[in-house]
Structure 1
Amino acid sequence: MTGPAAPPVGSRYADLTRAQLAVVVPELLLIGQLIDRSGMAWCISAFGREEMARIAIEEWAGASPIYTRRMQQALGYAPEVAGEGDVVTIFKGLQLDIGAPPQFMDFRYQVRDRWHGSFHLDHCGALMDVEPMGPEYVRSMCHDIEDPTFDATAVATNPRAQVRPLHRPPRVPADRAPHCAWTVVIDPAHPPVEPLAPYHRIVTTAAAGLALDPVPASTDPEVEGWSDYAGPLLDDLDFTRFSHAALVRIADEVCLQMHLLNLSFVLAVRARCTSEEQARAICRKQLVGIAGLAAERLARALGLGTTPADAVRVLAMHPLLNPLPYAPADLDPATARATVRPGPAHGDDGWLTLCGPATPADPEAPSALQALVRGVDPRLDVEVEPAAEGDGEGWSLRVVQREDPAAEAGEVAVTRFSTGAGFVFEPRRSLPLLIG
């Protein structure tokens, strides 16, 4: 006998149309990739290149096994037996991973059979960002970071999966294409990969176990769209094929990926800082950079204007305040106001704990919110006040328009260094990949 169905938790993305969601989801995947463009510059400045690489390894290894399994469950392609998934399952996960946003990280997949496959990147946006910094930085990303983090992602599907390079940068010759190529082999003889230490901390967070609404099955998939990704692996994932409910869940899961990645980033940064003040300063710089650039891309993708009401509409779709049950808040574009209530995001000590009204102890608390609204228009600003309840975590804001535009925050300018800042997605035809 089964118990009563869980009550719906809701989603802010449900207010978007299916067509809008198909545009927003790849934007969110790309925004997740840009978190590192925002954060790692400050890690290099504080700790140096080699320690930055170690932070990146711990960051991705702590988060990716968790969110990979979540997406498998959400879209119905999880292995029937936990830990015994195949190459197709791994590739589907990569297509829905902020570490591999479509087109910007242009993965092309080949599947020989369930246990053998390969992929190459026709375009690697991350490489385009790092190559100008020199071969040492390329080696840090494409060798030191990729080896353990690819295996950490694969372990979510099958601990005996091995992802190994055929070739990878630094590129010789300098214009070599594809940018890199890798094999994926699952073999019972392979020693099982164990999750790295940060995983065991991040899996205990509220973000890791957050319950979201299940995706109802489509009664007519040809009309309503797919409610899952249980069918064939596609060469390019066409988000217009998914149902409205599936796209809502994907959007929420992608935002959770970002929160989990950030929580893992915070853990790695704190382990290296000499004070809590230093850790908060680095983590806030990361947040300010991604907050502003994410708002800019979301406003453009949704075709919004530049008014205070538009800024609140962007805030409603921004990963900072999503998913709804993780970051409960009331948003009213008509009055250009938002009230953030205490919730799981505060308990996890993530992004929202770096936001709020300015105080003598923390005069920079509104900086990420200012960068966010200025991503919509540089004349916009926020007036932030403590919540009426006085609980110390909640706060409210009003978006206002100033006469003169503000200068772009330095943290946003650093993040804009990435080619992802101005990247434009192109329409692509999606076809099933043949096995063999």
Structure 2
Amino acid sequence: MGTTVTAPVPSRYAGLSRAELAVVVPELLLIGQLIDRSGMAWCISAFGREEMAQIAIEEWAASSPIYTRRMQEALGYAPERPGTGDVVTIFKGLQLDIGAPPQFMDFRYTVHDRWNGEFHLDHCGALMDVEPMGEEFVVSMCHDIEDPTFDATAVASNPRAQVRPIHRPPRVPAGRKPHCAWTVIIDESHPPVEGIAALAVVQRSRAATLELAPIDTEDDGLSDYTGPLLSDVDFGAFSGSALARIADEVCLQMHLLDRAFTVAVSARTDEAGTRRIRRKQLTGVAGIAAERLARALDLPATPDGATRLLALHPLLNPAAYVNAGITADATAVEVRRGPADEDGAWVSLVDPDDVGPLQAVVRALDPHFDVEVSPLTDGTDGWRCTVVRRDEPAREDDAVAVTRFSTGAGFAFEPRRSLPLTPV
């Protein structure tokens, strides 16, 4: 008997044009950064500043090594042997990391040679968000969190990489630019960085090993990032197929980050407390993400536009992870059980009795919009979401309002020239 080969699930983003995708990918990277602007506010409230910082460390250290390797492999710049990457490998990874979205976290890179480099941030959106909160919060982010998580991210490329500060906030003198500067040195004499215990937990998730649709190398445009390191990634130079894969990988980064966040939070509270914090996190970022995507794609403020927005939202992507789709008559989104449910991912926080995150998405287009969610009638495990319009506008959800505090909510990308960087 022959073996049945199942083709990878096509990306929902493949339905966008190449030009649309070139706009959407940096938006998704920035949306990923805003997850913490949402979630950490509720962690501070529940556990205090010091525990919030520890949660952030565990969250990023348990997810970034996984998704960094995934992006290396997807775009062809993974080292020949795992763990032998150079500074260019590390810098390319940062350019495609939700922890360092382009321009909002404006990394500028210098490569001295394969094993020595530097970067500085001309603009740090995270610092702009935290600085008004006081020096203690700046130290928590720029010292307590950054030291272990920069090394944890680098370990995906080379465990003997060390990322060390030249200078960093609190800014002295006030308003100092660049906001911070760091060296990256790979040396065989450095003790290898080892992953934290939670990394092994997240590695067992479906998201960690999920197979996504391969990039069509015959499609017009770049299909990989094997060329020189660029000062700014020109997303418009990639093919539509490559951009759809990048978009799916970036959504998966968000789910891996949330999986690690769940592990960290659940170690500090009970199941009900973990779910409450996770739903606040999801609702907050869902609303702001929807605003940014709707604006980027110029979606109409109609029920059809809101339905399309739901289908393209990171909550329900990538398609290989979240089993969802627009109905044949384009009037609703149907969600069935899939790999994301096995991981307890964002979609598992939504059901017919708990629709706050879905409401946050559709109300980003029009506060009069609402959703009607009901169980599927075909006997499968899932639900159907239909967008409806109410007579009275809804007030903004508190979780969305908290996330709007971030300067990332209204951040505008600017055109940049993409220049190759060579060793100096």
TM over 0.5: yes
2:349 to 344, 350, 354: 354
Aligned to 1:395: 383
Aligned to 2:262: 266
The one-letter code of the counterpart of 1:66 is: I
Question: How many angstroms apart in 2 are the aligned matches of 1:32 and 1:198?
Answer: 20
Shift in Å, 1:44 = 0.1
The one-letter code of the counterpart of 1:367 is: G
2:298 is equivalent to residue 303 of structure 1 = yes
Question: How many angstroms apart in 2 are the aligned matches of 1:320 and 1:433?
Answer: 35
Aligned to 1:316: 311
Higher deviation after alignment, 143-152 or 308-317: 308-317
2:311, 2:333 within 8 Å by CA — same for their partners in 1?
A: no
2:414 is equivalent to residue 432 of structure 1 = no
2:392 is equivalent to residue 382 of structure 1 = no
The one-letter code of the counterpart of 1:103 is: Q
1:85 match: secondary structure: coil
The one-letter code of the counterpart of 1:372 is: V
Aligned to 2:222: 226
The one-letter code of the counterpart of 1:270 is: S
2:244 to 238, 242, 248: 248
Q: Trace 1:54-203 onto structure 2 (pairs within 5 A).
A: 54-203=54-203
Change (3 A) 1:186 1:5: farther
What whole-Å deviation, never above 9, does each CA across 1:117-166 have from its counterpart, x for those lacking one? 00000000000000000000000000000000000000000000000000
1:355, 1:366 within 8 Å by CA — same for their partners in 2?
A: yes
What whole-Å deviation, never above 9, does each CA across 1:27-68 have from its counterpart, x for those lacking one? 000000000001000000000000000000000001000000
Residues matched between the structures, number: 422
Aligned to 1:343: 338
Question: How many angstroms apart in 2 are the aligned matches of 1:191 and 1:333?
Answer: 56
Aligned to 2:48: 48
Q: Which runs of 5+ in 1 are unaligned?
A: 359-364
1:298, 1:314 within 8 Å by CA — same for their partners in 2?
A: yes
Question: How many angstroms apart in 1 are the aligned matches of 2:6 and 2:183?
Answer: 41
What whole-Å deviation, never above 9, does each CA across 1:198-256 have from its counterpart, x for those lacking one? 1100000000010011112247xxxx210000000000001001011100000000000
The TM-score with structure 1 as length reference comes to 0.95
Question: How many angstroms apart in 2 are the aligned matches of 1:54 and 1:201?
Answer: 17
Identity %: 68
Question: How many angstroms apart in 1 are the aligned matches of 2:365 and 2:356?
Answer: 15
Shift in Å, 1:357 = 0.5
Shift in Å, 1:386 = 1.5
1:13, 1:317 within 8 Å by CA — same for their partners in 2?
A: yes
2:311, 2:325 within 8 Å by CA — same for their partners in 1?
A: no
Q: Which runs of 5+ in 2 are unaligned?
A: none
2:378 is equivalent to residue 369 of structure 1 = no
What whole-Å deviation, never above 9, does each CA across 1:380-430 have from its counterpart, x for those lacking one? 000011122556x51111100111110000000000000000000001010
The one-letter code of the counterpart of 1:138 is: V
Shift in Å, 1:269 = 0.6
Q: Trace 1:8-47 onto structure 2 (pairs within 5 A).
A: 8-47=8-47
CA RMSD of aligned residues (A): 1.3
Question: How many angstroms apart in 2 are the aligned matches of 1:144 and 1:197?
Answer: 18
Shift in Å, 1:332 = 3.5
2:8, 2:211 within 8 Å by CA — same for their partners in 1?
A: no
Question: How many angstroms apart in 1 are the aligned matches of 2:218 and 2:166?
Answer: 41
2:119 match: secondary structure: strand
Shift in Å, 1:314 = 0.7
2:8, 2:320 within 8 Å by CA — same for their partners in 1?
A: no
2:393 to 402, 405, 408: 405
Question: How many angstroms apart in 1 are the aligned matches of 2:6 and 2:189?
Answer: 42
The TM-score with structure 2 as length reference comes to 0.98
2:325 match: secondary structure: strand
Question: How many angstroms apart in 2 are the aligned matches of 1:41 and 1:278?
Answer: 14
